[in-house]
Amino acid sequence: MAAVTLAVGDSRSVEIVAREKWNPTGVLVGPGQRYAFAATGKWIDGGIPCGPGGFTVDQAHGIAHLIVKAGAPFLRVKNGRYFCVVGCVGRVRSSFFVIGTGRPDWSTSRSGLLECFANDVPIAYWNNEGSVALVVTRLS
């Protein structure tokens, strides 16, 4: 997929694969540009199904509860739920932002490629399954 700067009003649909630590969207973003995001679908984290909004530790049961509770301090984005969709610009940690099921108005001070991932513990992507659909729309 070739990277492009979307025209105002244009959208791009991309698949965010749960097992990938980085999912390039093919969208180049820059300062002064505003975007909206909408994510749909279901994916699975170690046997726990959820949508793009992710899940909380309390929503995991049995042994899974103990595992996700122990892993919570190591999530890539600490203020995000397990398995929520997260975006970033140029793989820079300071640019990470939670998308979840959607974000109606987002902008950045950085220029670069928009990438996304499922918020998980970095060493635990091996047990992830599925993907969700993300629509990125340029607002201005």
Task: DSSP for 68-125, please give it.
Answer: HHHHGGG-SSTTS-EEEEEEEETT-GGG-EE-TTEEEEEE-S--EEEEEEE---GGGG
Residue 31 lies in a domain: yes
- Residues 56-68 as b/e (b if ≥16 CB within 10 A, e otherwise) read ebeebeeebeebb
| Within-domain flag for 61 | yes
pTM: 0.95
Parallel, antiparallel or unpaired: strands 34-40 and 97-98: unpaired
Using CA atoms, how far apart are residues 96 and 88, in angstroms rounded to an integer?
Answer: 4
Q: What CATH number is attached to the domain comprising 18?
A: 2.60.120.430
Asked if residue 2 is part of any domain, the answer here is: no
Mean pLDDT of the chain: 95
Domain interval for residue 134 = 11-138
Determine, yes or no, domain membership for 19. Answer: yes
Provide mean pLDDT across the span 68-81. Answer: 91
Residue 87 counted as domain residue? yes
3-state class of 32 per DSSP?
coil
Query: How many domains does the chain fold into?
Result: 1
* 27-46 tens-digit pLDDT: 999 999 999 999 999 999 98
5 falls within a domain: no
In a domain, 88, yes or no: yes
